Chains A and B, each alone.
Chain A
Amino acid sequence: MLDLLKSAVREAPGYAEIRYHRRLQTAIDARNGALKRVERRTLAGAGVRCLVDGSWGFVSTTDVTREGLRNAIAEASDAARAGARLRREKARLAPARLGKGEFIYQTCDDEPDIATKIGVVLGAERRMRASSPLVVGSIVIYTEYADEKYIVTSDGAEAHIVDRKPSFHVFATVGRGEERETGGKGWGVTGGWHDLMRKRDLEKMVDEAVDLAVRKLDAGYAKGGQYTVILDPQLVGVLSHEAIGHTVEADFVQSGSVVKDKIGEKVASDLVTLVDDGTMRGAAGMVLVDDEGVLGERTVIIDKGVLRSYLHSRESAAAFDTVPRGNARAFTYRDEPIIRMTNTFILPGDSNLEDMIAGIEDGFFLKEMGQGGQADATAEFMFGIAEAYRIKNGKIGELVKGITISGQAFEVLKSVDAVSGDFELDLGAGHCGKWQPAKVDAGGPYVRCRVTIGGRHE
């Protein structure tokens, strides 16, 4: 395959990259006493990108024969030439450390067969229904991407990548009369089935999801307003990724995000160091070589409160006169690489969680993301919270529901006055969406800060 791609890329008039990507996706979805669906999908093909006269052309095809690739290169370079007449800002590529050779992310020996996996999913779903008479809805979903890629560029990348990213979602709905409440857990890794099972205990997650949903039936609502809160590692990940991370993606910066021209400025508390790092072993956003063939590296975005770096593709790195560190990613062969995060997190500090809670007079202890969560170029964000407890006089109190947090993410980071020594990446279950999905991870320690709580007016 590598030889085929190498000979095809030589026929391109300028810079070209060919990415053959074969994905075998497995989804097992059990709900409400039935196996709702088991799907096994093969999606394979080549994404061809050409740069002619400073303009891109991208063509994707299932035909990966010599002839098919030749046609794709011709079509992509014709499209690029046509685009060059329109495009004002000419694209250039920054020099980069390019991947060459074998990149086997995890060895996944003794991967169980599909019958075993179906059995485990069904067993977890049964356990969920059996765990409380209030359970009216039960969902257990296993998803797995097994990817193989060959990436060749006309300037020297030649990478063969083997990667596997599985995840679990468990979701319980409980009911009493007309009332409905939900509780969910999700986790994901880069690795095999056994790595995923080691990350979290499936049965424990099922029990916790049901328990949370049941407790929410009796929980009250909170009054909205400004509060001091503790964010758990997952929510720190959500804040780092959704609210901060997207604003430092260089394409968002170029279109005027809130951190434009702010490199070197103080944007957060001294306690905050925030990084993006594709090389974190086993994290769901692990990317050793990105889809432009660039090697993954750690990017320090915020260093002790000072904004240091944006996240780049080769094109944006050239525009900013810097180097790319493996943040150009494509979800399938049909997608072109765009600037994405990998694993995004705040580094641990030296506070103790108990002391951090004890220091709050009137606030909330917030755990895990609920449904929804958005942010935009202004870093204004809103996230639903799955599990929220009142903190009064330094003590954790009752569970409250229907909580969202919002604010301006950099203001929130400036308000950080304590960072715990804990560390966990805990956002590997789902996908990040930006025109195309991407598997990412995020997290950090526990963080104490000020946010706006959206609750209900009584």
Chain B
Amino acid sequence: MSEPISHNKMPVMIGIGEYHVGSVPMMAIGLGSCIGLAIYDRDRRIGAMVHIMLPESSGRTDRPGKYADTAVPLLLNTLSNMGCHKSSLVVKMAGGACMFEYFGNNLNIGERNAEKVRAVLAENQIRISAEEVGGKSGRTVAFYPEDDGKVTVRSADGAAHEI
């Protein structure tokens, strides 16, 4: 098992609107309404992760990783340029919580983020193999491409589990 090796490496921290591609561990901490999306290529054993904040870019191009409608194509194109094929991709996502029901009650950005990610993936004929979205709690998501694309989710009480 490659587990001890990959877990000893410091993960690349992916801030809001950022993304990373490669084989190193990646991590997006404290997702509330944000989404952590991880795409793993089984054949090449690499992957990409993005930290999405809002559903729609409305024509903005400065930070494609920030919006679901631009972040998904961004990851797919990047992986495709590296020679990855759709058929070997494993897609997992977490986040999209609604922590403050009182504020922005008509917004529910978390849910809209998740819906947009699903929709754009569906347009590209890619299905999601695992997701943990919604609810009221924050999540920290870690992605280990070298460990068969393992994705773990941890909540504030400290319990991490694989999805």
Q: Do A and B come from one complex?
A: no
Give the interface of B toward A (CB within 8 A): none
